[in-house]
Chain A
Amino acid sequence: MTPIRLAVSLNLLLCLFSPRVLAVSAEYLYRHMQQSIYQIQVVDLASDKKSSIGSGFQVDQHGLIATNYHVVSEFIQQPDKYRLEYVASDDSRGPLKIMDVDVVHDLALVQGNPQAMPVSFASRRLAKGAHIYSIGNPQDLGMSIVEGTFNGHLERSLYQKILFSGSLNPGMSGGPALNEQGELVGINVSTAGNELSFLVPAGFLQQLMAHYASQGPQQDLIKRIEQQLLENQDRVIDGLLKTSWKTLTLGDVTLPAEMADYFKCWGQTDNDRKRQYQHSYSACASPDEIFISHSFNTGEIDFRYDWYEKDKLTTTQFYNLYQQKFSATYPTNRAGRDDVGNYSCNTDFVSISDNDWKVAVCARSYKKFPRLYDVALTMAMVGDNDRGINVQLNISGISEQRAQQMLKKYMDSIQWHN
């Protein structure tokens, strides 16, 4: 048992009968842990000022620090513009080097030369409602400890996360979340506001550390990230290709709905009286995304259906409206000119379910990860004078082969009932 764990456990024992048990626990935890927790700074070389901040904590006795990938992503994407530094609780600072990353679970291992005690991993599973403590440097205001509740792992999620009912704020990313014994449960990663926060389970950090221990530092981080993204999309898309998808019916069409239990769908019918036509829509999306840089995220799948009936419109009016809606397609993931190329499209009239559809398939490739694409599928049923449906599917971060398989299965799942 490490001295920290021993001290914290003794303290808990002593305080068992005290009404101030939680406050004392947090105070002790912080006092004993603060030396192992650092502020991580990405410093702009031109101005010598910090460009972004996060938190990190020591995970071995040789100065290896764990943090979030998104804390150090700017440095990884543009190493010639930034440098990476840690600031310890005694204000000492030193340079950091990136050793390994897990872009899917938003983790990074960086190497410095601080000499503090490493944080140890929790060995027991936590029960829902257990107290956990998150440490980090919110908004650069100083190292803080936040007390909250462990609410289990997110059930409908593509990338496993712990639901932490406590306040995480910007700057705390990469900091540790500890149980009452001072052992690592998770890593602070994101928040949805109102004490709804998320942690990366500590198990993923253990996997990353094991990889680092066996493979050593990664020389080509971009290649490593591409490999992780490829493996991840293989796993996710394989899962989707193997299962049978739920369907929904909109107007006269049966369409794919929740492809897996982590998809969320919603829908709406317009009730605007001024409208001369009827419109209802359904939209589904996977809830998670993978952060690559501040301008670029990937790993999302979403689709949307818009059903139109002409009602009081003339056929020409209806088709003008329908055509206008068909052209209004935008990708849902964030990407900039340095991240992706332009979309290239192929359009044609295709016979699906005994009806003619106008179909456009578009793809844009990733500049740094050339085996990955954002793919957009847009379809509209044509030839019926009174009714129509627009289908839009966006998949970000998919390989060509998987995209072809997904597009085929997706188009095969669409049925029009005459």
Chain B
Amino acid sequence: MGNDLLIWICVAFSTNNKLFLDVSNNERICETASFILLESIRWLYLVPSFKNLNKFDQFRLIEQSWSILFLLTSAEMKKFLLPDQTYSFDEDNQYPLFQSIIKDLILHSIDQIEYTLMKLIIIFNTRKLIYLLNSFKK
């Protein structure tokens, strides 16, 4: 079952930039999400410091930070920005909040190097960033 899902995600990955017109909005968002998730993790494996860790620690780090990594990659690739997108999977109406965070990130004009370093801080930081920020201020 895991294999089937992964193939589905990989198909979404490979077709992301040539979506068909008759694909529903939900499918389009799901395909983009799969693309972003896979791309986020693929990028991570290009980082030597991450690759050098043992498999267990790699998994733990991904498990605890995948959502913010997903968000940063989405903002970096300027995805999920289309206005007036209704999304039926979003039962708790959290999608607009997610979109607003991406827009906020884009407003800060973050360049590629800064995105890379921010993603590394998120990945390798095992505590809340507010503590990191406070220790930096001291």
A binds B: no
